[in-house]
């Protein structure tokens, strides 16, 4: 997969893309991530990419010309252009899985008071990472890059680990423990030390359901709406 990110603050991405799983995924050739400075695509000698909104109002708006040029410079047949904006569809795991199947993603980071409306004509999709306002789309682009990249084959060391994460099957992940078995009088559940894998899997399923009911009952409601009653919600 290739991911191109268009932003006016490219240096923000250096520490994120240069560490941990994203660094290893790029080094292994699983994903190619390129960050482009939007200011390189303006003809203005001051490299200006924003202007005052017609009709008045506070703040500045991203101009269409540099954005159109920046997208055209990297877009190919089959590319999917995504605007990072609070008006977009909220990111969830099902969206991440769908996007991970694409060969080329282009993320356009919003700034200031938003995009000139004509920029939306470029987008195949608009994405938000939550119902709150960020200073710009850069943090959202980082989140989306991470969420999508880790789903690519071979990026995570354990190919089975994705099957047991939170939000798989609309359930939160079950409790996890490691050594020591007794820490400050807090003990690991005995079933996890039993070696009985069938009992362990049953316990984990029960705990995942319990945790979801307590912390995110909306996930169970969503599951019922999409698929009918889950086997865990009888």
Residues of the chain with pLDDT under 70: 158-168, 223-234
pLDDT given for residue 64 in this prediction: 96
pLDDT given for residue 232 in this prediction: 37
pLDDT given for residue 128 in this prediction: 96
Strand, coil or helix: what is 116? coil
Q: Hey, which bits of 20-170 come out as E strands?
A: 32-37, 50-51, 61-62, 80-90, 104-109, 125-128
216 and 210 Cβ atoms separated by less than 8 Å: no
100 and 151 Cβ atoms separated by less than 8 Å: yes
pLDDT given for residue 163 in this prediction: 56
Sole residue written with tokens 């709150």: 132
**Which region, left, alpha or beta, applies to residue 169 given φ > 0 means left and ψ of -120 to 50 means alpha?**
left
What domains appear along the chain, each with residue ranges and CATH number? 2-149 (3.40.1280.10), 166-227 (1.10.1270.20)
pLDDT given for residue 225 in this prediction: 59
pLDDT given for residue 44 in this prediction: 83
Those residues whose C-beta lies under 8 Å from the C-beta of residue 188, and which sit 6 or more positions away, are 177, 181, 182
pLDDT in tens, 11-48: 999 999 999 999 999 999 999 999 999 999 998 888 99
pLDDT given for residue 166 in this prediction: 54
């Amino acid at each position: 997969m290739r991911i191109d990110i268009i932003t006016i603050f490219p240096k923000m991405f250096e520490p994120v893309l240069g560490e941990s799983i994203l660094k290893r995924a790029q080094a292994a050739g699983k994903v190619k991530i390129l960050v482009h400075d939007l200011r390189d695509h303006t003809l203005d000698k001051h490299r200006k990419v924003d202007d005052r909104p017609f009709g008045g109002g506070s703040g500045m708006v991203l101009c269409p010309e540099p954005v159109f040029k920046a997208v055209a410079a990297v877009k190919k047949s089959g590319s999917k252009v995504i605007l990072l904006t609070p008006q977009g569809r909220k990111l969830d795991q099902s969206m991440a899985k769908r996007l991970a199947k694409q060969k080329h993603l282009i993320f356009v980071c919003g700034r200031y008071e938003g995009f000139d409306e004509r920029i939306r004509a470029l987008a195949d999709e608009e994405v938000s990472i939550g119902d709150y306002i960020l200073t710009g789309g850069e943090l959202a682009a980082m989140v989306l890059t991470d969420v999508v990249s880790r789903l690519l084959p071979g990026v995570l060391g354990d190919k089975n680990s994705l099957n047991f994460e939170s939000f798989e099957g609309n359930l939160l992940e079950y409790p996890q423990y490691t050594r020591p078995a007794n820490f400050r009088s807090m003990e690991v559940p005995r079933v996890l030390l039993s070696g009985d894998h069938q009992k362990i899997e049953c316990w984990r399923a029960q705990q995942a359901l319990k945790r979801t009911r307590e912390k995110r009952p909306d996930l169970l409601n969503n599951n019922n709406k999409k698929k009918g009653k889950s086997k865990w919600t009888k």
